[in-house]
Amino acid sequence: MLGRVPFMRVLVVEDDRKVAGFIQMGLREEGYAVDVARDGEEATTLAHVNEYDAILLDIMLPRKNGLQVAAELRREGRKTPILMLTARDTTEDVVRGLDAGADDYLAKPFRFDELLARLRALIRRGGSTRLERLTYSTLEMNRMKHQARASGKVLDLTPREFQLLEHFMLHPEEVVRRTELLEKVGVVVTPGIGYGKNGEGYVRLSLTLPDAGVVKGLSRLAEWHAKK
Q: How many Å is the maximal CA-CA distance in the chain?
A: 58
Cβ distance 179 to 222 under 8 Å?
no
Q: Are residues 104 and 166 in the same domain?
A: no
Q: Are residues 18 and 118 in the same domain?
A: yes
Q: Which of 125, 145, 177 is the last residue of a domain?
A: 125
Q: Are residues 38 and 146 in the same domain?
A: no
Q: Is residue 2 part of a domain?
A: no
Q: Are residues 170 and 215 in the same domain?
A: yes
Mean pLDDT of the chain: 75
Q: Are residues 16 and 109 in the same domain?
A: yes
Q: Are residues 158 and 214 in the same domain?
A: yes
User: Which of these, 154, 142, 138, 163, lies nearest to 214 by C-alpha position?
Assistant: 138
* C-alpha distances in Å from residue 210, one per residue of 151, 154, 172: 8, 11, 18
Residues in the chain: 228
- What's the CATH number where 16 sits? 3.40.50.2300
Q: Are residues 104 and 184 in the same domain?
A: no
Q: Are residues 192 and 93 in the same domain?
A: no
pLDDT score at 88: 65
pLDDT score at 4: 43
Question: 123 pLDDT band (50/70/90 cuts)?
Answer: confident
Task: List helix spans (H) across the chain.
Answer: 17-29, 40-49, 66-75, 91-100, 112-125, 159-170, 178-184, 202-208, 213-218, 222-227
Indicate the range of 43-52, 54-63, 129-138, 182-191 predicted with least confidence: 182-191
pLDDT score at 25: 92
Q: Which of 125, 156, 182 is the last residue of a domain?
A: 125
140 three-state secondary structure:
strand
Please give the tally of structural domains in the chain.
2
Q: Are residues 187 and 106 in the same domain?
A: no
Range of the domain at 43: 9-125
Q: Are residues 162 and 102 in the same domain?
A: no
Q: Which of 108, 125, 142 is the last residue of a domain?
A: 125
Indicate the range of 8-12, 68-72, 100-104, 170-174 predicted with least confidence: 170-174
Element housing 85 (H / E): strand 82-86
